[in-house]
Amino acid sequence: MKTTTFKGRDFLSETDFTKEEIETVLDVATELKRDRAMGKYHDDLLRTKTLFMIFYNQSLRTRNSFEAGMTQLGGHAHYLDPGKIYTPALEGKEVAYSTERVSDVARVLDRMGDAIAIRCYGDPVDWEYGGAHNLLLEFARWADIPVLNMEDDVYHPFQGLADVLTVKEKFGGFKGVNFTMSWAYSPSVHKPRAVPQSAILYASMLGMNVTLAHPEGMELDPQVVSKCEEYAQAAGGAFKVSNDFEDSIANAHVVYPKAWCPTVMFKAPVGEDDPKKSMDIFNQNKSWKCTRELMETADRNAIYLHCLPADRGYEVTNEVMDKTSGSGWQSAIFDEAENRLHVQKAVMSLVM
């Protein structure tokens, strides 16, 4: 297995890697997961290495899976709260004695550690779509060590890896798997696009039959959709967009309903910077909710996925989220959450 091409590379978007490289990441994640279950540890892989983690947003799974992963590989993760340091900011968005230019922060951390991981979306960049991804690109420009995307406003590549590893474990592969990524109702409009966009990019790249379902007004980035169409054609899968919630779930093997914000939530030129109009669109589509009755229309052995945290009672019912045993379709959300640990260990091992 050739892995030398990963060393020193940033992991900011799945589109920066080939299908074969992503398959290598999944193979390494599977091997590390299997070895740990058998009592074989790899605490020498990243011995004495340091990961700096900068969280502009709150986190449960991401922070703990990265910290645990670094510990299990023999390294150490430093948690950095932007509010407790001089907040890294782009040129032109600096505030005296409150921020520090990204170029300076990146070069300082570069001298002290082995990788920088960043989570940033939404309020920290004033809902300017792409603003957070540009922040990560600026870190990568100035740091010679790898920069890892723990979720920005365009991509969530590690969540997407966990999604497809879970699919591979449940179905043995990707060919012929019907993957539905659907919008679902939430009482909060503060939901970035990153999770659904990474999910459909990986699913189409790996050759699944992908359906993106959402009400009108909830369209995703057209460049992402175009890339999915390109991936599907190259991999021999399929990609389509539907505005029919129930039809999109019928016969699906993977059911992934999750809220994301409408275009109007973002600042111009992408949107209108209008949270009230965004909430109006949400409230017109409260019926987009994953229920047991809906799951019964999917494939008999379908799995329900969600990146978590889910808005219980709004996006999904308790009986769907908690059905992890018995016959028929299952919720695989906790397998999916665990797989964050394994895919992140794989990427860190490869690039660090």
* Burial category of 97 from C-beta neighbours within 10 Å (exposed 0-12, middle 13-18, buried 19 and up): exposed
Residue 2: per-residue pLDDT: 45
pLDDT tens string, the chain, 352 residues long: the values are 444 589 999 999 999 999 999 999 999 999 999 999 999 999 999 999 999 999 999 999 999 999 999 999 999 999 999 999 999 999 999 999 999 999 999 999 999 999 999 999 999 999 999 999 999 999 999 999 999 999 999 999 999 999 999 999 999 999 999 999 999 999 999 999 999 999 999 999 999 999 999 999 999 999 999 999 999 999 999 999 999 999 999 999 999 999 999 999 999 999 999 999 999 999 999 999 999 999 999 999 999 999 999 999 999 999 999 999 999 999 999 999 999 999 999 999 999 9
The predicted model scores a pTM of 0.97
For residue 34, give every residue at least 6 positions away whose Cβ sits within 8 Å of its Cβ, in sequence order, or none.
none
In the structure, how many helices (H) and strands (E) does the chain have? 12, 12
**Domains of the chain and any CATH numbers:** 4-154+341-351 (3.40.50.1370), 159-338 (3.40.50.1370)
Cα(183)–Cα(283) distance, integer angstroms: 13
Tell me the sheet residues that pair with 304.
255, 331
Residue 20: per-residue pLDDT: 97
Residue 315: per-residue pLDDT: 98
Cα(293)–Cα(157) distance, integer angstroms: 31
